[in-house]
Structure 1
Amino acid sequence: MAGERQARLGDRIRVILAERLEKGLRDPRLGFVTITDVRVTGDLQHASVFYTVYGTDEEREASAQALKSATGMLRSEVGKHLNVRLTPSLEFIPDALPENAGHIADLLREAQERDAAVAGLAAGAAYAGDADPYVKPREHDADDEA
């Protein structure tokens, strides 16, 4: 039951922050930010907000600074929309999802290239022994009976 309440509160915070960030902040450093997940502690006092930023490393760093600067204002915004006694503190954590996705895409491309190379080798390959190595029963010859 408590875990369900944490999850509901986390989802609500994610929606509030996403809507607020969609309107934009007055901070030019903030890039294209997506809130990917919000995890609330068991005592509902702290929320870890996971986010991604589309862009370069510099844009990601600038957005992290902008979110850090706006944390107090964003917490107030969350407090206005939540029906809880105490508004949880917010901690913005960059989500490694895009980097992992890029790494996985690289690995898949590499595997595909290796598969193509193996298929190329197999196409020109010949059997090391007979084409059909399984022993078959010999045909019954008339000579064998005599």
Structure 2
Amino acid sequence: MADPTRAAKLADRIKEIIARRLDKGIRDPRLGFVTITDVRMTGDLQHASVFYTVYGTEEERADSAAALKAATGMLRTEVGRNITARTTPSLEFILDAVPENAARIQSLLEEARQRDEEARALARTAQYAGEPDPYVKPREQVDDED
């Protein structure tokens, strides 16, 4: 098991290398506007999971995923040339769900705001279900002096 700080540094380095290579361009026309968001290494530094996002439609995401899968060997070679490790880790490209999750959270927050406003509106016009003062009061004594 490698040192976690070394794994984090290697992951950052791999992220930079792949992002720089994608910025230079790959000759695959299917590749869209791809952003590398994160890289996670296994404890033995043999495998790197590369998370990415793609700007565009579902079809463009699928095309970009196919282009990245086809370019994995070339990108691994590029990583191997630019890192100082005994072995070059294998690369796995995973579509990052952060944008979809953020949109879902945003819609849930908006729904909660609407429900809170409805509850506030109901509270402004609400009335007590029973008597306004539900507490029992001591009985008044009646004078029976006739």
Band the TM-score falls in, shorter-chain normalisation:
0.7 to 0.9
Aligned equivalents of 1:33, 1:134: Cα separation in 2: 67
Alpha-carbon deviation of 1:135?
8.0
Higher helix proportion = 1
Aligned equivalents of 2:132, 2:21: Cα separation in 1: 69
Unaligned runs of 5+ in 2: 138-146
1:58 aligns with 2:56: no
- TM-score normalized with structure 1 length: 0.83
Alpha-carbon deviation of 1:23?
2.0
1:1-146 equivalences under 5 Å are 2-129=3-130
Query: Deviation string for 1:83-134 (max 9, x for gaps)?
Result: 2222111111111211211111111111111111111212222334565667
- TM-score normalized with structure 2 length: 0.83
Q: Given the superposition, is the C-alpha separation of residues 133 and 55 from structure 1 closer, same or farther in structure 2, using an over 3 Å criterion?
A: farther
Amino acid at match of 1:40: M
Identity value in percent: 67
Unaligned runs of 5+ in 1: 137-146
Name the SS of the counterpart of 2:103 in structure 1: helix
Amino acid at match of 1:37: D
Amino acid at match of 2:29: P
Name the SS of the counterpart of 2:15 in structure 1: helix
Q: Given the superposition, is the C-alpha separation of residues 20 and 135 from structure 1 closer, same or farther in structure 2, using an over 3 Å criterion?
A: farther
Deviates more, 1:120-129 or 1:62-71: 120-129
Aligned equivalents of 1:4, 1:133: Cα separation in 2: 64
Q: Given the superposition, is the C-alpha separation of residues 131 and 28 from structure 1 closer, same or farther in structure 2, using an over 3 Å criterion?
A: farther
Aligned equivalents of 2:62, 2:91: Cα separation in 1: 18
Amino acid at match of 2:71: A
Root-mean-square deviation (CA, aligned residues, Å) is 2.3
Aligned equivalents of 2:136, 2:10: Cα separation in 1: 70
Amino acid at match of 2:33: F
Query: Deviation string for 1:34-80 (max 9, x for gaps)?
Result: 11111112221211111111221111111100100111111111112
Correspondence for 2:140: none
Name the SS of the counterpart of 2:71 in structure 1: helix
Q: Given the superposition, is the C-alpha separation of residues 22 and 134 from structure 1 closer, same or farther in structure 2, using an over 3 Å criterion?
A: farther
